[in-house]
Amino acid sequence: MKSSGPVAPASIGAVAEWFGLATHVLRHWESAGLLHPARDSAGRRRFGADDIFRVAVILRAKEAGFLLEDIHAMLTTADPVERAAVLRKRRRELRLRIARTQSSLEMIDHALACDHEDFTVCPHFQAAVAERLFGR
């Protein structure tokens, strides 16, 4: 993302370029009901400040692993209970992904610090792998 954003109202090309996206991604998000840019007299999309902010929100949600369906539900529902359910589900999934990634990092750190010439024969490394595979 560049340091200063597109000036609203902005064309689809300007918004796509600023966020490093292809224009077809923004069109897809529009067809999925995530974006609703205004149209000028020639029918071209004109992204206002709220639309540009929404693109940023969608990108952040995607970085967190949200599916487009979840993003749609979260952004369009008026029901705070439904929104919270979507957020809680993603939070659980993200915490699990973080735990798995942390475990992988610990295994790599052990392999780098291991005194064995071949870290794969190290009993501590093998135990860590077995725990990951078999939950022991």
Q: Band of the pLDDT at 3, cuts 50, 70, 90?
A: low
Q: Residue 123 CB: number of other CB atoms within 10 A?
A: 8
Closest CA to 73 of 92, 56, 51, 88: 88
Q: Band of the pLDDT at 11, cuts 50, 70, 90?
A: very high
The CA-atom distances, in angstroms, between 128 and each of 7, 99, 108, 119, 123 are: 52, 14, 10, 12, 9
Main-chain dihedrals φ then ψ at residue 9, nearest 5 degrees = -75, 140
Distance between CA atoms of residues 19 and 5, nearest Å:
9
Per-residue model confidence (pLDDT) at position 98: 92
Among 20-24, 65-69, 87-91, 127-131, top mean pLDDT goes to: 20-24
- Quick one: average pLDDT of 99-109? 88
Per-residue model confidence (pLDDT) at position 28: 97
Average pLDDT, the chain: 90
Main-chain dihedrals φ then ψ at residue 10, nearest 5 degrees = -120, 155
Structural domains in the chain plus CATH codes = 1-66 (1.10.1660.10)
Peptide bond into 37 cis (omega under 30): no
